[in-house]
Amino acid sequence: MAHEILIVDDEPDIRMLIEGILEDEGYETRVAGNSDAAIGAFRARRPSLVILDVWLQGSKLDGLGILKVLHAEEPSVPVIMISGHGTIETAVAALQHGAYDFIEKPFQSDRLLVVVRRALEASRLAKENEELRLRAGQDAELFGNSPLIAAVRTQIERVAPTGSRVLITGGPGSGKEVAARMIHARSRRNDGPFVALNCAILAPGRFEEELFGLEGAADGTGRRTGVLERAHGGTLLLDEVADMPLETQGKIVRALQDQTFERLGGSTRVKVDVRVLATTNRDLQAEIMAGRFREDLYYRLAVVPLRVPGLRERRDDIPGLAALFLRRAAEMAGLPKRDLSADAVAALQAYDWPGNARELRNLMERVLIMLPANSVEPIRADMLPSTIGEGAPALLKFDASADVMSLPLREARDMFETQYLQAQLLRFGGNISRTAIFVGMERSALHRKLKQLGVTSEERGAG
């Protein structure tokens, strides 16, 4: 769908000239010669962009007055101001009131088209970012009350205001980017941009262009800013930095040290003020030994190391996370809210979650969508995929018709207690104290019971 541009100028020749330039490039146009017509056209149908003359003869409002009205009604629509009598004061006033850019008449058609393209692209990115923020919801925070995740939040609170570089490690889907966004939000740069470069999905030949940008022609055409420049005054996240090619690693080392770089094809060094954060799910020390990662880059990135624990290390956070993801999925899909039964929660806590919180979120969305929409009964363990229950204790797959019914009461009770306590120990990561609190026993009594049943420390795992 072609972008529609509203042209506001009191001179018919100028309107026709701009119309011709834009329509030759595939844009659709509308025109207005005064403030009433301009505001009416804007209200009738929101354009993608407005080109607005500052001086409008015989108009109730001049261009700056119209700009204030348009920006108040819809600040997301970019406005480019034009004038044949422009002054620095006028240009500054236009920008202060929300204009995207200011162009003096007479202007080159190429110059106008470059500014139009940039304004439309900036508007698109702003809308996408807003949509992502809405979809992300509470993912701007690491969720959970376990001691491990509480410790991570404490580390973030300490390191965020310092400005130091942070290397965030953890498994896929564990929340490394969420941690990075928390650091930015709590830093002194929180009013600046947060720009993320995903090194894992970028083609090797594109890295330097994405990082440093393109110089382009002398008049600015063809210039493309890289992520270092776009993150000026804010934070740049190098996501999964181990996937960065070695040659690019050498160039980013100097950029980090000097906070300067050259765009591709340029010779002028660009000065930036950027805080760099990095994430990885690999062992960078092993990558260094294998010759795949530069040691000097490692030490520049890992000023402060921060590890985000995997979901299997904080199983007691799983019930709250699962409930949160179910609630969000129901809201987004317009489906009834569903709860998890106790056996479903136990099965989720017994699973090892190689994909961490991201895998849990995707599973909750899938389960909710695949269940009958007219049912509001709790989600049971047998409604979960078979892979979730494969590693669960036998108790979660208990069959009342099995041989247990032929056992004497004491043996049947011992079998149940063994499986029950194995499930609870797994649920709490082998922590005896927390298991004892949950099952309602004294810690010493639980120790004796485990010894009696032959549940060894190897079965329980580390506390």
The domain that holds 355 is classified in CATH as 1.10.8.60
Read off the pLDDT of residues 201-239 as tens digits, 9 standing for 90 and up.
888 888 899 999 888 765 545 667 889 988 888 899 999
Together in a domain, 270 and 386:
no
- pLDDT for 1 equals 53
Q: Picking from 416-420, 443-447, 454-458, which range would have the lowest pLDDT averaged per residue? A: 454-458
**Which amino acid appears at position 391 of this protein?**
G
Mean pLDDT of 5-30: 95
- pLDDT for 398 equals 47
Read off the pLDDT of residues 144-171 as tens digits, 9 standing for 90 and up.
988 999 999 999 999 999 999 999 999 9
Domain assignment present for residue 95? The answer is yes
Together in a domain, 263 and 318:
no
Q: Of 181, 142, 196, nearest to 357 (Cα)?
A: 142
Share of the chain above pLDDT 70, in %: 89
Together in a domain, 166 and 305:
yes
Mean pLDDT of 26-47: 90
Identify the CATH number of the domain in which residue 202 sits. 3.40.50.300
For the entire predicted model, the pTM comes to: 0.63
Q: How many Å apart are CA 228 and CA 256, to the nearest integer?
A: 10
Together in a domain, 280 and 371:
no
pLDDT grade for 12, boundaries at 50, 70 and 90: very high
- pLDDT for 218 equals 58
Q: How many Å apart are CA 454 and CA 419, to the nearest integer?
A: 11
pLDDT grade for 420, boundaries at 50, 70 and 90: confident
- pLDDT for 133 equals 57
Together in a domain, 26 and 9:
yes
Read off the pLDDT of residues 167-201 as tens digits, 9 standing for 90 and up.
999 999 999 999 999 999 999 998 888 899 999 88
Strands (DSSP E) along 68-140, which ranges? 79-83, 101-104
- pLDDT for 460 equals 39
Domain assignment present for residue 99? The answer is yes
Together in a domain, 120 and 203:
no
Together in a domain, 80 and 171:
no
Identify the CATH number of the domain in which residue 127 sits. 3.40.50.2300
- pLDDT for 387 equals 84
Report the chain's mean pLDDT, rounded to a whole number: 85
Domain assignment present for residue 254? The answer is yes
Q: How many Å apart are CA 287 and CA 278, to the nearest integer?
A: 15
- Domain endpoint, select from 101, 135, 169: 135
- Domain endpoint, select from 278, 293, 309: 309
Together in a domain, 368 and 232:
no
Enclosing domain of residue 68: 4-135
Read off the pLDDT of residues 248-306 as tens digits, 9 standing for 90 and up.
999 999 899 888 998 888 888 888 889 999 999 999 999 999 999 999 999 999 999 99
Cα-to-chain-centroid distance, residue 96: 30
Alpha carbon distances (Å) from 287 to 241, 242, 293, 298: 11, 8, 5, 10
Residue 82, pLDDT above cutoff 70: yes
Mean pLDDT of 36-59: 89
Share of the chain above pLDDT 90, in %: 44
- Domain endpoint, select from 309, 341, 361: 309
Residue 322, pLDDT above cutoff 70: yes
CA atoms within 13 A on the CB side of 395: 23
pLDDT grade for 399, boundaries at 50, 70 and 90: very low
Domain assignment present for residue 143? The answer is no
Residue 402, pLDDT above cutoff 90: no
- pLDDT for 391 equals 53
Domain assignment present for residue 419? The answer is yes
Q: How many domains does the chain have?
A: 4
Q: Of 124, 71, 127, nearest to 94 (Cα)?
A: 71
- pLDDT for 306 equals 97
- pLDDT for 381 equals 83
The structure tokens listed for 237 are: 């996240």
Together in a domain, 15 and 119:
yes
Domain assignment present for residue 459? The answer is no
Together in a domain, 17 and 35:
yes
Together in a domain, 241 and 254:
yes
Identify the CATH number of the domain in which residue 424 sits. 1.10.10.60
Domain assignment present for residue 144? The answer is no
Give the torsion through C-alpha atoms of 412, 413, 416, 417, to 10 deg.
-150
Residue 458, pLDDT above cutoff 50: no
Together in a domain, 185 and 279:
yes
